[in-house]
Amino acid sequence: MPDALVCGAGGFIGSHLVRRLKREGFWVRGVDLKFPEFAPTEADDFVQGDLRDQDFCRLVVDRGFAEVYQLAADMGGAGFVFTGEHDADILHNSATINLNMLDACRRRRVKRIFYSSSACMYPAYNQEDPENPLCSEASAYPAAPDSEYGWEKLFSERLYLAFARNYGMEVRVARYHNIFGPEGTWKGGREKAPAALCRKIAEAPDGGEIEVWGDGQQTRSFLYIDECLEASIRLMRSDFPGPVNVGSEEMIRINDLAQMIARAAGKKIAIRHIPGPLGVRGRNSDNRLIREKLGWAPSQPLEKGIALTYAWISEQVARDRGGKRPAA
């Protein structure tokens, strides 16, 4: 039975990935500071601990795993990443995790290690026009990410590629663009735009109003979790190391995303624009490279994933209102 290690297995993408690897017949060890919040983990072995601790990393990498997925990071949406209040932790914590994990994997001769970078590493100067953002892989340099989160991702990408060059390790680097879906953070300050908008709309009455940060004209693209897992696994098992974009090319303005969610909810919703942390003006995935190398493209439109996500979040909101805690 092949074995896999998932770091960040208590988080959104990690917990879904564990489920997918179990379905494929893997023996899976999950590692995280916390257990998944919304459903029990399906990992065969789940180790709770801190990957900033080098000894802990060496303990959990106790064999030459066939596949290691390093998803653990200190992260959140715009409200967490762009305020500046968490910059030191974001840089220190995530870089330490990556330094430790690469060292531990090299010692155990792990066969392959996957790293989840982010579209936030792309230069801000290419993303000022909401209609024409440039996010091709080759546009990464000269580097100028708009957040420390993006700088850490860029540093760690380079770290993984350097370990591949100098120690012959097999690394795979994906640049995720806004992954969303059920069982993701939907409140508390670390949630991202789709989840935050779903929550606000679920809480609003029909004909009500929600707040949107900025003028809502900023553009983004969003990729549904199942599509992200498919692309990640394909990349892991391919001969292509990356870095490569894993995202959707269906670019949408935040105002239009809010209206798409309102349609899924069957509600009429007005938008009130308020100041807030924003990030770049426009961003879209450029999928030319991943199409060429892996033959991969998203299989469903944004609207479908949004409907599934809204249904899940409105259920959480209803549970909260009923005074009950979300199912553990």
Residues that bind ligand NAD (CB under 6 A): 8, 10-14, 32-34, 50-52, 71-75, 93, 97, 116, 118, 176, 178-179, 185, 192
CB nearer to ligand NAD: give 70 or 204. Answer: 70
Q: Which residue is nearest to ligand NAD (CB)?
A: 11
CB nearer to ligand NAD: give 12 or 65. Answer: 12
- Per DSSP, the three-state class of 289 is helix
CB nearer to ligand NAD: give 30 or 269. Answer: 30
Residue 268: CB minimum distance to ligand NAD, A: 29
- In the block, residue with structure tokens 């450029």: 286
Strand partners, 116: 174
Q: Where are the alpha helices (DSSP H) in the chain?
A: 12-23, 54-60, 78-81, 87-107, 148-167, 193-203, 225-236, 254-265, 288-294, 302-321
Check 115, 122, 149, 176 and give the catalytic one.
149
Residue 288: CB minimum distance to ligand NAD, A: 19
Which of 246, 294, 233, 239 shows the shortest CA–CA distance to 25? 233
Q: What are the two backbone dihedrals, phi and then psi, of residue 179, each rounded to the nearest 5 degrees? A: -90, 140
Residue 100: CB minimum distance to ligand NAD, A: 9
Residue 49: CB minimum distance to ligand NAD, A: 7
Residue 48: CB minimum distance to ligand NAD, A: 9
Residue 43: CB minimum distance to ligand NAD, A: 13
Provide the residue count of the chain.
Answer: 328
CB nearer to ligand NAD: give 147 or 185. Answer: 185
Burial class of 66 by CB neighbour count within 10 A (0 to 12, 13 to 18, 19+): middle
**Residue 178, token pair as written in the block:** 């806004």
Q: Catalytic residue at 149?
A: yes
The amino acid at residue 197 is L
Query: Which residues have a Cβ under 8 Å from the Cβ of 15 and sit 6 or more positions away?
Result: 9, 30, 36, 38, 39, 41, 183
Residue 211: CB minimum distance to ligand NAD, A: 21
CB nearer to ligand NAD: give 93 or 316. Answer: 93
Quick count: other Cβ atoms within 10 Å of Cβ 44?
A: 15
Alpha-carbon distance of 197 to 232, in angstroms, equals 26
- Per DSSP, the three-state class of 284 is coil
Alpha-carbon distance of 37 to 294, in angstroms, equals 33
CB nearer to ligand NAD: give 10 or 305. Answer: 10
Which of 253, 252, 258, 251 shows the shortest CA–CA distance to 272? 258
The amino acid at residue 126 is N
CB nearer to ligand NAD: give 177 or 200. Answer: 177
Q: Integer distance in angstroms from the first to the last C-alpha of the chain?
A: 29
Residues that are catalytic: 149
